[in-house]
Chains A and B, each alone.
Chain A
Amino acid sequence: KNQVEQSPQSLIILEGKNCTLQCNYTVSPFSNLRWYKQDTGRGPVSLTIMTFSENTKSNGRYTATLDADTKQSSLHITASQLSDSASYICVVSEGGSYIPTFGRGTSLIVHP
Chain B
Amino acid sequence: DTGVSQNPRHKITKRGQNVTFRCDPISEHNRLYWYRQTLGQGPEFLTYFQNEAQLEKSRLLSDRFSAERPKGSFSTLEIQRTEQGDSAMYLCASSLLPGTSGIYEQYFGPGTRLTVT
Contacts and interface: CB of A to CB of B under 8 A. Distances in A.
Given A31-B102, A42-B110, A51-B102, A98 B43 contact: no
Contact of A46 (B45, B55, B106): B106
Interface in B51-109: 55-56, 59, 91, 93, 101-103, 105-109
Nearest to B55: A98
Nearest to B42: A102
Interface string A78-112: 00000000000101000101111011110000000
Interface residues of B, number: 24
Contacts of B93: 43
A99 B45 contact: yes
Contacts of A104: 40-42
Interface residues of A, number: 22
Interface in A24-64: 31-32, 41-46, 49, 51
B111 interface: yes
B56 A98 contact: yes
Contacts, number: 50
Contact of A43 (B44, B48, B103, B111): B111
Given A31-B102, A99-B45, A102-B42, A43 B109 contact: yes
A44 B40 CA distance: 14
A58 B52 CA distance: 35
A44 B3 CA distance: 13
Interface of B: 4, 40-45, 48, 55-56, 59, 91, 93, 101-103, 105-111, 113
13 contacts: A41-B111, A42-B111, A43-B4, A43-B108, A43-B111, A44-B43, A45-B108, A49-B103, A49-B105, A51-B102, A89-B43, A99-B45, A102-B43
Given A4-B42, A43-B93, A49-B105, 6 more contacts: A41-B110, A45-B108, A89-B43, A98-B48, A98-B55, A105-B41
